[in-house]
Amino acid sequence: MSKPVVAIVGRPNVGKSTIFNRLAGERIAIVEDKPGVTRDRIYSSCEWLNYSFNIIDTGGIEIDSEDKILSQVRIQAEFAIDEADVIIFMVDGKTGLTEVDKEIANYLYKTNKPVVLAVNKIDNIKMHQEIYDFYALGFGEPYPISGAHGTGIGDLLDAVVAHFPKDDNDSYDEDVIRVALIGRPNVGKSSLVNAILGEERVIVSDIAGTTRDAVNTYFSTDEQDYVLVDTAGMRKKGKVYETTEKYSVLRALKAIDNSDVVLVVIDGKEGIIEQDKRIAGYAHEAGKASIFIVNKWDIVEKDDKTMHQFVQKIRDEFQFMTYAPILFVSAKTRQRIHQILPKVNEVAEAHAMRVTTSVLNDVISDAIAINPPPSDKGRRLKINYATQVAVKPPVFAVFVNDPELMHFSYERYLENKIRASFNFDGTPVKIVVRKKNDEI
C-alpha cells in the first residue's frame, strides 16, 4: 500500500522547513555509513500513531524580489494540488494575516483536498489570541504551533491523519510483481514501458515531462503477472518547472512505496547527474529491489571500453547500491529489452527470499572462523546467533553480547558473506544488531 502524501504549503519565511524537520525527526539526520548516499531535504517519511506517510516541504525557494513572491507561491500551491492527499497550510502568527496568505487560500480552495491550517510561531499561551484572524481564511479551526519549541505538533498531526484515505483500491495478488520505472524527465521511461509491452500503450513524446501522473499497466507473460508503473516527471509548463526539476523525484514516491522492483532509468547519452542519485537513493532507503537501466545506448558513441567505463561510473556514483545489476538497453531499437523481465524476476525472488536459521548460522560461523570479530579496549564482540526476521527486503537480526562492540566494517563484512552465500542480487540486505535475549 502506498503511503499518503502530506504537503506543507505557505508563503516564504513562515517556518515550513522548521516544521518539516521536526516532523521528519531523526530520519532526516541519519547519515548512512556508505559513501555516495545523496539526500534531498525536500521530502521524508514521517510516522504518527499507527500511520506512516511521506511529507513534502515546498519551502526553500529563492525569492529574488517582491514581484516574484506571488508567482512562486502559486508554484507551491499547484504542486500541492498535484501531489498531496492532505495539505498543511502554514501561516505566520507573528506577522498576522497577509494578502499572500489569502492568494494561497484561493488556490487551495480549488484542490477539493483536505486542508489543515497551522499557525506557526505561537511560542507561548499568551499568543493564542493571534490565531483568530486566520478563521477568515475559511479552513476551519487554526492549529497554533511553534516550530521553535515543538508545541502543538501532536494536535496538528491528529488533524492531518484524520483525513487520510481509509481504503486502497489499487491492490493486486501477491504473485504479481510490481515494477516502478523511475528517473528524471526525458530519460525514456515511457518508451521503455512501450518496448517492454511490445505495443504503444503509453503516450511517448520528446517533450520532457509529458507524463503527468503515474500510469499502471497490468500484463502477463511466461505465466508471470506484472504491473508496470510509469512515473515520468513534471509537467512541462514554461520555465516554471525547469527551476524546480528536483520536485520530479516526488512523482515516484507512491509508486516506489507500492512496488517490488524499481527500474532506475539513466540516460546513456547524457550520463549521470546529481538528481539521478537523489531518485535512486529513495528506492534504496525504501528497501526496494533495484536494477539500473541505461537507456538510449544506441545513440552513445562507443568503443570496446565504453560499457565497462559506464559500469564503473555507476559503481562510483552509486556506491550505496552496489547490489543493483546494470542493463544497457535501447527502447528505440529494442536492444536488450528482452533481458529486463528475466532480471526483474531474479531480483524480485531475491527480495522475497527467506533463509533458514540453521543455514544462516552455518554461514555466520564460517565467516567468524575466517575473520574473528575484533576486540575493543580489551572486550571482544561475541556473536551468539542470527536469524532472518523479514523479507522485502531481507532483514537479519544478529544477537551479540554487546551491540556497541559491532563495528560498521564488521557488520558490512557479515553482510557481504551473507550475499556471497545466497543469491541476493538486486536487493538491499539489512542487518540489525541486538543484545542476546532482547526481543526483535
* 77 annotated as a binding-site residue: no
* 189 annotated as a binding-site residue: yes
Residue that terminates a domain, selected from 307, 335, 351: 351
The string of DSSP letters for 112-165 reads -S-EEEEEE---SGGGGGGGGGGGGGSSSS-EE--TTT-TTHHHHHHHHHTTS-
Count up the domains in the chain and report the number: 3
* 296 annotated as a binding-site residue: yes
- Cβ pair 157, 118 in contact under 8 A: no
* 111 annotated as a binding-site residue: no
Q: Within a domain: residue 243?
A: yes
* 194 annotated as a binding-site residue: no
* 123 annotated as a binding-site residue: yes
* 435 annotated as a binding-site residue: no
* 186 annotated as a binding-site residue: yes
pLDDT on residue 65:
44
pLDDT on residue 325:
97
* Pair (316, 364) in one structural domain: no
d(CA 140, CA 98): 17
* Pair (335, 370) in one structural domain: no
Q: Within a domain: residue 169?
A: no
Q: Within a domain: residue 172?
A: no
Query: Helix, strand or coil for residue 221?
Result: strand
* Pair (138, 242) in one structural domain: no
CATH code of residue 89: 3.40.50.300
Q: Kindly list the distances between the CA atom of residue 117 and the CA atoms of 102, 126, 129, 145, 150, in Å, as whole numbers in the listed order.
A: 12, 20, 15, 10, 16
DSSP secondary-structure letter at 251? G
Rounded to 5 degrees, φ, ψ at 252 are: -90, -10
Its pTM stands at 0.69
* Pair (135, 31) in one structural domain: yes
* 10 annotated as a binding-site residue: yes
Residue with cell 524537520: 21
* 230 annotated as a binding-site residue: yes
Is the N-terminal amide bond of 428 cis, ω within 30° of 0?
A: no
Rounded to 5 degrees, φ, ψ at 17 are: -65, -35
* 427 annotated as a binding-site residue: no
Question: Which residue, among 250, 239, 305, 303, has the nearest Cα to 275 in the 3D structure?
Answer: 250
* 59 annotated as a binding-site residue: yes
Q: Within a domain: residue 147?
A: yes
- Cβ pair 207, 237 in contact under 8 A: no
d(CA 43, CA 257): 14
Q: Within a domain: residue 414?
A: yes
* Pair (98, 147) in one structural domain: yes
* 298 annotated as a binding-site residue: yes
Q: How many CA atoms lie less than 13 Å away from 246 in the CB half-sphere? A: 16
* Pair (347, 365) in one structural domain: no
d(CA 212, CA 71): 21
Query: Helix, strand or coil for residue 423?
Result: coil
Residue with cell 486502497: 168
- Cβ pair 188, 265 in contact under 8 A: yes
Sign of the dihedral through C-alpha 346, 350, 352, 358: positive
Q: Within a domain: residue 60?
A: yes
* Pair (200, 340) in one structural domain: yes
Q: Kindly list the distances between the CA atom of residue 61 and the CA atoms of 123, 244, 246, in Å, as whole numbers in the listed order.
A: 25, 9, 12
* Pair (82, 107) in one structural domain: yes
Residue with cell 502530506: 6
Q: Which residues pair with 117 in a beta bridge?
A: 89
Contacts with 257 (C-beta within 8 Å, 6 or more apart), sequence order? 1, 2, 3, 54, 286
pLDDT on residue 232:
52
* 384 annotated as a binding-site residue: no
pLDDT on residue 61:
36
* 14 annotated as a binding-site residue: yes
Compute, in degrees rounded to 10, the torsion defined by CA atoms 373, 376, 382, 388. Answer: -70
* Pair (149, 182) in one structural domain: no
* Pair (210, 335) in one structural domain: yes
Q: Within a domain: residue 166?
A: no
CATH code of residue 420: 3.30.300.20
The one-digit pLDDT tens for each residue of the chain (440 residues) are 567 889 888 887 888 878 888 887 744 432 333 443 333 346 677 888 888 888 877 753 333 445 555 565 556 556 666 778 899 999 999 999 998 888 888 888 888 899 999 999 998 877 888 789 999 999 999 999 998 888 999 999 999 999 987 755 455 677 899 999 988 778 888 889 889 888 655 555 554 444 444 567 888 888 888 988 766 543 333 433 443 444 555 566 777 887 899 999 999 999 998 878 888 888 998 899 999 999 999 999 989 999 999 999 999 999 999 999 999 999 999 999 999 999 999 999 999 999 999 999 999 999 999 999 988 778 889 999 999 999 999 999 999 999 999 999 999 999 999 999 998 999 999 999 999 776 55
Cell of 118: 497551522
* 183 annotated as a binding-site residue: yes
* 13 annotated as a binding-site residue: yes
* 40 annotated as a binding-site residue: no
Q: Within a domain: residue 168?
A: no
Give the domain extent around 31.
Answer: 5-161
Q: Which residues pair with 8 in a beta bridge?
A: 57, 88
DSSP secondary-structure letter at 335? B
Residue that terminates a domain, selected from 101, 127, 161: 161
* Pair (347, 362) in one structural domain: no
* 158 annotated as a binding-site residue: no
* 121 annotated as a binding-site residue: yes
* 198 annotated as a binding-site residue: no
Residue that terminates a domain, selected from 126, 161, 196: 161
- Cβ pair 407, 415 in contact under 8 A: no
* 243 annotated as a binding-site residue: no
* Pair (137, 230) in one structural domain: no
The string of DSSP letters for 188-207 reads SHHHHHHHHHTS--S---SS
* 295 annotated as a binding-site residue: yes
pLDDT on residue 63:
38
* 392 annotated as a binding-site residue: no
The arrangement of strands across the sheet holding 430-435 comes to 383-390, 395-400, 430-435
Rounded to 5 degrees, φ, ψ at 360 are: -60, -45
| Burial (CB count within 10 angstroms: exposed 0-12, middle 13-18, buried 19+), residue 332 | middle
* 48 annotated as a binding-site residue: no
